[in-house]
Each structure stands twice: as structure tokens, then as C-alpha cells.
């Protein structure tokens, strides 16, 4: 197993990636907040397969945490994360300090599109401004590349993709399928917060999505009815507190009437100190001619 080269400064990253691009090598980038798991490794392996050089960033971004959220307790283990990257054959690991990324107060914050306002945007009002600002900064540091994001954070993928397009960034955003545990729970760094009893109930998120998709497959097009089925499913887990369920159009993240075409179902649930999200998509059956 070849060790990944660990870089701590923005200047080092730019210098090294510019040299690789000058040599004609393609760059793949996987942005993370660390606490890496098999889901992250699936993104790394997708990048390694498609690019000459893969770089992973590990940075717990304070801008995307509101007061009272888990910034201080967010799991951090750089030694383990470094081994995880090496196992996936990652070439470079960018692990900057907060001072390196934000040497002074941030006077510039990237605005977010309207479809960032509902769902995660409503539950965590400061979240997406922090996400797109740090991602814009990371994209600027990395330069021309392909950037790999997990579809578990579907709204984030949509927001980041739009930002890169709107700002003409030389970055291709590549969504990758959600990786799951054998019982259906989406892999997440925050799963570590679950107690054994909460972990046993956590697959209810997957079951809620399946229940919603099942009624859509039977012809249900009323978003409220689909959401009610999903909420009722979450309610079967005694330790779960529902944050939101949503049945929306996949492209716009809103329901503008009866569901049609490609749809996305999303759910957010709290288990004690863990807040988990998940989503899945499907097609509304077409009407007979």
C-alpha cells in the first residue's frame, strides 16, 4: 500500500497540481470532512479509475456549522483517514488547518440558489452558505478537475453543481451512488454517534424511502400523500424524531403540483445527538396513451 502524500498548505497543492496538469495528467478531487468510511472510499476509487491523479481534502469547515451543532465533537482521526486514503490508492491528501483556509475573517460568502432554501436549507439556515463558500474556495485551490460527491447529500450535489456552472469554474461535478450498510442505512460519519438501540432503528430512513417509492410506483402523484406514508414509516421507530420528509421533482427540489417524471424523496431524522439524512429517486409511471 503506497502512502498518500499529505499536504498542509494551499501553495503546495497549487504547485503540485499545476505541475501534474502541465505534464498532461488529469486531476480528480474528493472533498471531505474526514472520519472517512467505505462511502468516501467509493468516491476515491471512482476518481482513481477515471483520473491520473486523485487528491482528497480533509477539512472540518466551521462555516457550515451553526451555534449548538457538532463542530467541536465532529469525529477527527487524521492517521486513520490517511490510511483510508492510501488503501484507496489516493495520491495526495490535503489536510489544512482552519488558519490556512481562513487566515482572517471571511468578508466574502457565496450566495446560494433558491433550491437551497427548503429541506436542509430550512432545517440548517447557515449550512449551505458555508458549504458553497468552502467548496468554491477548494475548487479555486484545485483548479481544473473532476470533483466527486456522494448522492446521499442530494441537495448539496445540486447546489454545488449549479454554483460551479454559474461561476464558470473549470470543475466537472461527478455525483456517485450512496453507499449503504447491509441493512440499508446510508454510510455517514455521523453514524458513529448512534447508540446500539438507535443504530438498530436507524434503517427506518431507508424503509421510509422505500415506502414512498412503492406508493408512487402504484400511481400516487400527490406529494402530501407520499410524504404522509414516509412520515408514518418513520413514526414506527420509537427513538426517531422526524425533521422532514419531502417528495419533490428531482431537478428543482420542489413539488409544483402532482409528481411527474423523475422525482426525489428525501428524509431527515434525529436519533439522540445524531441527525441523519437520506434520499432516493424514481420515476412516476407514465399515463397510458
Cα 8 from chain centroid? 23
Strand 171-176 with 274-283, pairing = unpaired
Q: Cα separation of 252 and 244, whole Å?
A: 17
Sheet holding 145-150, edge to edge: 5-7, 92-94, 53-58, 27-32, 145-150, 171-176
What does residue 71 show for φ and ψ, rounded to 5 degrees? -60, -50
Q: Cα separation of 218 and 65, whole Å?
A: 40
- Give the residue numbers marked as catalytic: 40
Strand 241-249 with 171-176, pairing = unpaired
Contact criterion met (CB below 8 Å) for 88 and 124:
no
Contact criterion met (CB below 8 Å) for 27 and 97:
no
Q: DSSP 3-state assignment of 282?
A: strand
Give CA separation, 175 vs 16, 46, 75, 155, 215, in Å: 25, 10, 24, 11, 26
Amino acid at each position: 500500500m503506497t502512502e498518500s502524500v499529505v499536504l498542509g498548505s494551499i501553495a503546495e497543492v497549487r504547485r503540485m497540481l499545476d505541475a501534474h496538469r502541465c505534464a498532461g495528467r488529469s486531476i480528480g478531487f474528493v472533498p471531505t470532512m474526514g472520519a472517512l468510511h467505505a462511502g468516501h472510499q467509493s468516491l476515491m476509487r471512482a476518481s482513481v479509475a477515471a483520473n491520473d491523479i486523485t487528491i482528497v481534502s480533509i477539512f472540518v469547515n466551521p462555516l457550515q456549522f451553526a451555534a449548538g451543532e457538532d463542530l467541536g465533537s465532529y469525529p477527527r482521526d487524521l492517521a486513520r483517514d490517511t490510511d483510508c486514503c492510501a488503501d484507496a490508492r489516493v495520491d495526495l491528501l490535503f489536510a489544512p488547518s482552519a488558519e490556512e483556509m481562513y487566515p482572517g475573517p471571511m468578508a466574502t460568502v457565496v450566495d446560494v440558489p433558491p433550491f437551497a432554501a427548503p429541506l436542509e436549507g430550512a432545517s440548517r439556515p447557515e449550512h449551505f452558505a458555508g458549504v458553497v463558500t468552502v467548496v468554491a474556495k477548494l475548487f479555486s485551490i484545485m483548479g481544473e478537475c473532476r470533483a466527486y460527491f456522494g448522492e446521499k447529500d442530494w441537495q448539496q450535489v445540486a447546489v454545488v453543481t449549479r454554483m460551479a456552472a454559474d461561476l464558470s469554474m473549470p470543475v466537472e461535478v461527478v455525483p456517485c451512488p450512496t453507499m449503504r450498510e447491509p441493512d440499508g442505512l446510508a454510510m455517514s460519519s455521523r453514524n458513529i454517534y448512534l447508540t446500539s438501540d438507535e443504530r438498530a432503528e436507524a434503517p427506518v430512513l431507508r424503509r421510509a424511502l422505500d415506502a414512498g417509492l412503492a406508493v408512487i410506483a402504484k400511481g400516487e402523484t400527490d406529494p402530501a400523500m407520499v410524504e404522509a406514508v414516509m412520515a408514518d414509516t418513520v413514526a414506527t421507530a420509537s427513538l426517531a424524531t422526524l425533521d422532514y420528509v419531502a417528495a419533490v421533482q428531482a431537478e428543482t427540489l420542489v413539488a409544483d403540483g402532482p409528481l411527474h417524471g423523475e422525482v426525489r424523496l428525501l428524509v431527515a431524522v434525529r436519533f439522540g445527538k445524531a441527525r441523519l439524512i437520506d434520499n432516493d429517486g424514481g420515476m412516476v409511471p407514465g399515463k397510458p396513451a
